A and B are shown apart, each in its own frame.
Chain A
Amino acid sequence: MRTVGKSVIRKEAWDKVSGTARYTHDFQFTELLYAKMVTSPFGHAKIISIDTSEAKKMPGVRGVLTGEGLPLIGEAIKDRPPLAFGKVRYHGEPVVIVVADTPALAKKAADKVKIQYEQLPVVNSPAQAFQKGAPLVHEQLGKYKKDEDSYPVPGTNIATHLKIRKGDLTNFWKDVEFTVEGRYSFNPSDHVAMETRCSIAEITREGRILITTSSQAPFMAKRLISQYFNEPEGNIEVHTPLVGGAYGGKASVQLEVLAYLSSKAVGGRPVKLWNSREEDMITSPCHIGLDAKIKFGADRNGKIRAAEILFLWDGGAYSDKAIDLTRAGATDCTGPYGIENVWCDSFCMYTNHPYPAPFRGFSHSELSFAIERTMNLLAEKLKMDPLELRRINAIRPGDLTPTQVKLNKSNVGDLPACITKLKELIKWEEGEVVPVNDRIVKVKGISCSWKTSTIDTNAPSGAILTFNRDGTINLMSGVIEIGTGTKTVLAQILAERLKMDVNHIYVRMEVDTQTTPEHWKTVASRGTFMGGKAVLEAADDVIRQLKDIAACVLRAPIEDLEVADSRVFLRDDPEQGVHFKEICYGYTYPNGNAIGGQIIGRGNYILRGLTHLDPENGKGKPGPEWTVTAHGVEVEFDRKDLTYKLLRAVSVIDIGKVLNEKAAKGQVMGAMSMGLAFAGRETFVMDELGRILNPQLRTYRPLRYGEQPEYMVDFIETPQLDAPYGARGVGEHGLLGMPAALANALSKAIGVPIYHLPLTPELLWRTREGLLR
């Protein structure tokens, strides 16, 4: 292969190192107005009164909006007022928006808004929300509009309930000789993209709604605004330039709506709404928390025969994407193991916490923590090597997934091969615990994971190719460049198919929903697969058109023609040919006659064969394939003060096919780093009023330079037969097993099982002293 597999430099690289790369907040013009939110200081409270009179009087203030009269919105269940109305349901919830001439004025005026609250009892965890008699977050749950796939239970805090019922339900535990059980929990946390979210909206005199937004889902923003406010879709144009990190957090539609409403409140003038870091962490959607209970039963050989799983997802104040997160958790609930009998209840619980967006891995790193800790409990009980236990149970072609999809050699990767490679890389034979001196030990932990996507069954992706007159090509795809390098990979896929130089392909980085073909959302590690399929089809479309014209010019049948190096030529006599530049805008004969015409390539892809899940047993096909992974972490642990240093982190991923090596490794290392930070230190610290005490980067600390381990990334290549060059999704997978692997290492280190995150020295101490269960 000529281009695929090579570490092609990203198309936007020099813009990014020179400061010329533009993100949403970088767009500014003189007539722009600025919006500032007033947010709730409490987790749960009745709004007694809102007094905006003083703010309105301030010079330079152009508009003040409250929640009164706005429709309820939300993706799966319409349960969310865009601005709180009647009561607030989470700390940080937007209540009032002030629009003014400058950011400083808007802030000043926002500080003048007076809101009186009366506090209500707070639902502070999914487990509490699940208890009988818990305070209700939504009293009117039964009255909300919802889509068919959500199953809220009115009169409770249950926003949806997904069931997996697989195998022999009457003799569920029959072949089981050993059982283990664990209860796990962790709080919500945050994505912390370095670019905080930003949206700019304007409504023209013609009624056109123009939005620029830092989003993974501009097409969804367009659809939802149309749906929520009864605006024709054609009137809405959403632009997304480069996005400064997203990790799922920018797949939710929130600021777009608020910016649109703000613009509407000031007669359509352009308004920018930009999140401060604090707002980005708690006002905008966060990373989901979880309470889980797992029970595994195995026979004496270590084969797991039955699994009973309870997930209580922290859906926060509004269900939005949490419904899908709950479904995704159910879909892959067992981890990558072939288990015959599976019973899983996955509940989305309303709480008085910020509501979740997708987070890289979409419920899978979270569920893996619970599953993989339970695997280690089982290994201990069976006195078995934890890697061996995983090998015995590894899911394989021929097995059924929890939603009863029959696996084959294409739709699942090779987990045993990943485990073998991991064993070698992490030097498993050295032993799990290696003392350095009487205080310091080196400890290893491992885990496995898997993931399929659970996006809409009819999610589309499209690509358009146009030519420049010099024969170079412009590539337009609706995939957003959120940092993954996907647009460069798409150019590589195109270059490979056309056998041309990738430098002769220009990629449009910005997406706008009017002229870019839709890519459903840039999520779920599906950009390369779906966008790539669309690009391949567009490439074939271009090849066909080029050959049509060349056949005339060269007076040869189409079957005798070949395309390579930006030329169409005779296969048996390559010197006889025409360059793209001679035919891409039609061919002109010496006398002036022209034939052909401008070549425009089109391609699309729609996921095939996916189904909804049966509400009674979960049966159905959620995604096209499963990527499998094996992970390891090695730490240097201080037995005295319970601090530790990350030494090495390993990910072995069955990627199908490596398309751009450095980009793929970068994705995996970045995901690992994020997973280790989630595992080791990231959490919202909440008080009893549901207030988040650390919405700042000095109290909420992502990994910093020098704290990273040595990364070891390796790939297995079991091709997915229907994917471009066999490549599987990989953007999220480095993260999946990190929390579990670190927790397994540290459980070994302290000699007491760990059930909670994040793994701070204090948590380790509490666990060891028995102060936590």
Chain B
Amino acid sequence: MKTHNLVLRINGEDRQVTVRSADTLLYTLRGRLGLTGSKPGCLNGDCGACTVNVDGWPMKSCLMLAVEAQGKEITTVEGLHDAPIQKAFVEHFAFQCGYCTPGFIMNCHSLVNNHPGADDKKIKEWLESNICRCTGYAEIEAAVKEVLGKKS
């Protein structure tokens, strides 16, 4: 079995880790580095629960190999500290079970940073890649719009 010793830049820290060639970034974050905030929901790119930010852009970490993540700046939900989107999620009740929440938050976080003037169409384009089964999305919409409103 081929393994690789990597140094990954995660949440502002350099982390050493040994992985198999086939290990996904999601598996590595959770199983090797104990960062269990990113969630597996399908391992197939369909649900967005595993979303992290790679160089500031949302990435489904089940679709990226750990070896591909070398040299990139990775942010997981554990790397956010009182980000405006977290506060907005809390205040708007934008989660129930909370399982989709890290993925949604990382996606929204990247959206508000990269497109502070995002309109409805842009928001939909970004957020339709994640599934929330608990809320009806109305609260998530309110949370993301509040943060966007404060930015623009």
Interface residues of A (CB under 8 A from B): 7, 9-10, 12-23, 25-26, 28, 104, 191-196, 242-247, 276-277, 482-485, 662-663, 666-667, 669-670, 672-674, 696-698, 702-708, 711
**Contact of A705 with B97 in the complex, beta carbons under 8 Å:** no
Complex: how many Å from CA A15 to CA B101?
10
**Contact of B99 with A194 in the complex, beta carbons under 8 Å:** yes
**Contact of B136 with A697 in the complex, beta carbons under 8 Å:** no
* Interfacial chain B residues near A697, Cβ < 8 Å: 41-42, 44, 46-47, 131
**Contact of A669 with B138 in the complex, beta carbons under 8 Å:** yes
Complex: how many Å from CA A485 to CA B99?
14
**Contact of A194 with B124 in the complex, beta carbons under 8 Å:** no
Known A104-B22, A697-B44; judge A16-B133 contact (CB<8 A): no
Complex: how many Å from CA A663 to CA B47?
24
* Interfacial chain B residues near A669, Cβ < 8 Å: 135-136, 138-139
A-facing residues in B7-63 (Cβ within 8 Å):
20, 22, 30-31, 34-47, 49
* Interfacial chain A residues near B90, Cβ < 8 Å: 9, 13-14, 17
Which 10 residue pairs across A and B have the least CB separation, nearest first? Answer: A19-B37, A244-B99, A483-B97, A16-B98, A706-B124, A483-B96, A669-B136, A673-B136, A19-B77, A697-B46
The listed residue (A13, A482, A662, A672) touching B97 by CB distance below 8 A is A482
Interface residues of B (CB under 8 A from A): 20, 22, 30-31, 34-47, 49, 76-78, 80, 86, 89-91, 93, 95-102, 105, 123-124, 127-128, 130-141
Closest CB in chain A relative to B39 CB, distance in Å: 7
**Contact of A708 with B138 in the complex, beta carbons under 8 Å:** yes
**Contact of B135 with A673 in the complex, beta carbons under 8 Å:** yes
* Interfacial chain A residues near B45, Cβ < 8 Å: 698
**Contact of B134 with A245 in the complex, beta carbons under 8 Å:** yes
The listed residue (B35, B44, B76, B128) touching A696 by CB distance below 8 A is B44
**Contact of B37 with A673 in the complex, beta carbons under 8 Å:** no
The listed residue (B30, B39, B86) touching A18 by CB distance below 8 A is B86
Closest CB in chain B relative to A733 CB, distance in Å: 14
The listed residue (A25, A247, A696, A705) touching B140 by CB distance below 8 A is A705
Could you list some 19 contacts between A and B, CB below 8 A? A13-B90, A18-B78, A19-B76, A21-B98, A25-B36, A193-B133, A243-B97, A244-B97, A277-B44, A667-B96, A670-B135, A674-B133, A696-B42, A696-B46, A698-B45, A698-B46, A705-B127, A705-B132, A708-B137
Complex: how many Å from CA A86 to CA B98?
41
List 20 extra interface pairs beyond A19-B37, A666-B135, A704-B130, CB under 8 A: A9-B90, A13-B95, A15-B98, A16-B98, A17-B86, A17-B95, A19-B76, A20-B78, A23-B39, A28-B31, A28-B34, A193-B99, A243-B97, A277-B43, A670-B133, A670-B134, A697-B42, A702-B131, A704-B131, A711-B136
Among B95, B98, B128: residue with most chain A CB under 10 A: B98
Closest CB in chain A relative to B75 CB, distance in Å: 11
**Contact of B137 with A705 in the complex, beta carbons under 8 Å:** yes
* Interfacial chain A residues near B123, Cβ < 8 Å: 705-706
**Contact of B99 with A23 in the complex, beta carbons under 8 Å:** yes
**Contact of A708 with B128 in the complex, beta carbons under 8 Å:** no
Complex: how many Å from CA A14 to CA B102?
11
The chain B residue with its CB closest to the CB of A277 is: B42
Complex: how many Å from CA A484 to CA B139?
14
Complex: how many Å from CA A672 to CA B132?
13
Complex: how many Å from CA A21 to CA B86?
14
Closest CB in chain A relative to B152 CB, distance in Å: 20
Complex: how many Å from CA A707 to CA B138?
11
Known A26-B36, A194-B41, A244-B97; judge A17-B105 contact (CB<8 A): yes
* Interfacial chain B residues near A670, Cβ < 8 Å: 96, 133-136
Complex: how many Å from CA A704 to CA B80?
25
Closest CB in chain B relative to A526 CB, distance in Å: 18
* Interfacial chain B residues near A674, Cβ < 8 Å: 133
